[in-house]
């Protein structure tokens, strides 16, 4: 596991350097934005159409009356993990370390392994149930998962 960890880390680092070089070298398309004195015309763009990326998401959320960093996102309001509907922990490996904070004191974290093939598992008493789901594509970490 350590060697595949190192390999994954290495791949991530190389990917970062490659993307950085592409940005610096100007070969990577950063969306479809382009600015020039000729293109921007006589008027200044409004903030909503000008924003991109995380800033745009923040502004869109604010327009809906939601602070996207503290509320309004599905993962922040995810249902409590039960034995029937546990929290699905995605992993590229066959196990993953999960930490649960003590409900009484959130400076205390209790850690445990969640392993592939095991039934939904509680880490602390009266805590949420977790189950591992092995994924192949790193992008799948961000796709909402539910226990079948």
Residues at the contact surface with another protein, assessed by CB under 8 A? 16-17, 19-20, 23-24, 30-31, 33, 35-37, 39-47, 50-58, 60, 68-69, 73, 75, 139, 142-144
Nearer to another protein, 3 or 33 (CB): 33
Q: Measured from the CB of residue 21, what is the shortest distance to another protein in angstroms?
A: 10
Q: Of 28 and 116, which CB lies nearer to another protein in the complex structure?
A: 28
Q: Is 144:77 a contact under the CB 8 Å cutoff? A: no
When the beta carbons of 32 and 104 are compared against another protein, the nearer one is 32
Max Cα–Cα distance, the chain, nearest Å: 64
Q: Which residues pair with 112 in a beta bridge?
A: 98
DSSP state of 98: E
The whole-angstrom separation of Cα 128 and Cα 57 is 30
Closer of 54 and 124 to another protein (Cβ): 54
- Minimum CB separation of residue 91 from another protein in Å reads 18
* Neighbouring residues of 140: CB distance < 8 A, sequence distance ≥ 6: 90
Name the residue among 44, 23, 48 with its Cα closest to residue 35.
44
Beta-strand pair 87-91/129-134: parallel
Nearer to another protein, 56 or 115 (CB): 56
Q: How far is the CB of 13 from another protein (least distance, A)?
A: 8
Work out how close the CB of 10 gets to another protein at its nearest, in angstroms, rounded to a whole number. 14
What is the smallest separation between the CB atom of 125 and another protein, expressed in angstroms?
27
| Distance between first and last Cα of the chain | 27
């Amino acid at each position: 596991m350590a060697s595949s960890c190192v390999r994954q880390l290495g791949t991530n680092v190389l990917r970062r350097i490659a993307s950085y070089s592409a940005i610096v070298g100007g070969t990577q398309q950063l969306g479809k934005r382009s600015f020039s004195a000729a293109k921007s015309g006589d008027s200044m763009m409004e903030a909503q159409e000008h924003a991109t990326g995380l800033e745009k998401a923040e502004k869109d959320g604010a327009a809906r009356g939601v602070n996207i960093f503290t509320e309004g996102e599905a993962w922040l309001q995810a249902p409590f993990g039960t034995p029937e509907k546990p929290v699905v922990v995605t992993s590229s490996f066959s196990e993953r370390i999960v930490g649960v904070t003590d409900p009484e004191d959130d400076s205390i974290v209790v850690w445990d392994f969640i392993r592939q093939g095991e039934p939904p598992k509680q880490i602390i008493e009266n805590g949420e149930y977790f189950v591992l789901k092995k994924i192949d594509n790193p992008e799948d970490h961000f796709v909402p998962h539910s226990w079948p």
